[in-house]
Amino acid sequence: MQTVLLAAGIGTRMRPLTDRRPKPMLPVADRPLVAHAAATAAAAGASRLVVVVGYESADVRGFFGEEYAGIPVEYAEQPEQRGTADAVRAAEPHLDEGPFAVLNGDALYDEASLRELYDDAPAVGSYRVDNPSAYGVLRTEGTEDGTDGYGRVTGVIEKPADPPSNLINTGAYLFPAEAQGWLDVGESERGELELTDVLERACEEFAVSAVPFDRWLDVGRPWELLAANEWRIGELDRRVDGEVHPDADLRGDVVVEAGATVDAGVVIEGPALVRAGASVGPNAYVRGATLVGSDAKIGHAVEVKNSVLMEGATVGHLSYVGDSVLGRDVNFGAGTTVANLRHDDEPVRTMVKGELVSTDRRKYGVVCGDGVKTGIQTSLNAGVKLGTDARTGPAEEVMRDRNGE
């Protein structure tokens, strides 16, 4: 099945992590986010990929090349990100006649459900959530016995205040061949060219199935990047190819890649991934679904819990990092402490595009853009974001977001 993979967006809700890279290239376990969608598509039956690129497109092209996961890769350029229908329209010249799939490059899908979608044209992936008002909600006719279920799709309602159900659109589609001629849509109320308008047209002319997804995750905000790593790191099997000191203790499914170093006195409780060139210890404690990126460093007496340390990030010594995302080349000064829990046990809130929103996570630490540096004994409050290249002074308490210099 020819598959269009959407990877052109900037990812403004993920800032500052996307200031210098496209959101689909953020790390999830052992590869970029978009590579998980591509690999799952290939395993589920995709015959080739047409990757739509735009913002920082060289990063995406450089990763995939001309082939990935055993299938050919082509590229379509979307110079201006005007919406999902516009993105697929950019890919249309690369498509053969016939049905085609469309997947979001910033989402995770389970292989079995995606395979079912590929076998059930035309169709849209569906998923049940507790907060359907934040998504596009599918209208369906229900099952044959008249109960609410995954019946024929009759349309989609974008972010309704009073959703008719909790069945949402996952952004995974299998369109009939005719849909290649339906991509010239008008602007939505949000000023975008929406692929859901093409879905509405398909519902009018065909019997569109709602294929239930067993597992799915939309990765649009930093805490969802944590969730994505929890999912994919949790699937890794224990493997130790790097240099591990005899006095280190690796517990459970810990992966230490070739070229990584784990020093004396270190305890790592899996699931955890220590990538090539990274170093941990001595006397460090790593636990939870933690990613220690390539060339990252966790030093003496540091504790890192359920976090993502991107390439080159350094937490030198005597520090605590919990439920946090550290961008490339971040450097935490000695004694930097991250708070990740509110005293009232309510979910931690953080700023997204100027609005204070709940992460729905009881434990959530900080997000640091690339190049952040903290002074010794810095304290960072739960939910704080430090912008790209931001700085803190010695013994500073940071209670609110801070932009970079």
Mean pLDDT, to the nearest integer, of 76-80?
A: 91
From the list 99, 181, 165, 100, the residue with the least C-alpha distance to 126 is 165
8 A C-beta contact, residue 309 and residue 291: yes
User: Which stretch of 36-45, 123-132, 246-255, 321-330 has the lowest confidence by average pLDDT?
Assistant: 123-132
Domain spans of the chain?
Answer: 2-220, 236-398
Q: Provide the token pair at 135.
A: 């998504």
Tell me whether strands 167-175 and 100-104 are parallel, antiparallel or unpaired: antiparallel
Tens-digit pLDDT profile for residues 321-358: 999 999 999 999 999 999 999 999 999 999 999 899 99
Is the pLDDT at 157 greater than 60? The verdict is yes
Q: In DSSP terms, which residues pair with 193 in a beta bridge?
A: 187
- The CATH code that applies to domain 2-220 is 3.90.550.10
Spatial separation of the C-alpha atoms in residues 151 and 138, rounded to whole Å: 10
From the list 54, 91, 47, 90, the residue with the least C-alpha distance to 69 is 47
Confidence of residue 149 (pLDDT cuts 50, 70, 90): low
8 A C-beta contact, residue 138 and residue 156: yes
Confidence of residue 142 (pLDDT cuts 50, 70, 90): low
8 A C-beta contact, residue 296 and residue 310: yes
Confidence of residue 143 (pLDDT cuts 50, 70, 90): very low
Confidence of residue 314 (pLDDT cuts 50, 70, 90): very high
Is the pLDDT at 146 greater than 50? The verdict is no
User: Which stretch of 32-46, 162-176, 180-194, 317-331 has the lowest confidence by average pLDDT?
Assistant: 180-194
More confident residue, 166 or 255: 255
Mean pLDDT, to the nearest integer, of 82-93?
A: 91
pLDDT at 405: 61
The DSSP string of 351-389 is EETTEEEE-S-SB---EE-TT-EE-TT-EE-TT-EE-TT
pLDDT at 147: 41
Confidence of residue 201 (pLDDT cuts 50, 70, 90): very high
Please identify which of the residues 36, 94, 317, 343 carries the catalytic annotation: 317
Whose structure tokens read 């997204």?
Answer: 352
Spatial separation of the C-alpha atoms in residues 392 and 390, rounded to whole Å: 7
pLDDT at 152: 84
Q: Rounded to two decimals, what is the model's pTM?
A: 0.94
User: Mean pLDDT, the chain, as a whole number?
Assistant: 93
Spatial separation of the C-alpha atoms in residues 188 and 85, rounded to whole Å: 11
pLDDT at 219: 96
- CATH superfamily ID and name for 236-398: Hexapeptide repeat proteins (2.160.10.10)
8 A C-beta contact, residue 170 and residue 107: yes
Sign for the CA dihedral angle at 182, 187, 193, 194 comes to negative
317 is annotated as an active-site residue:
yes
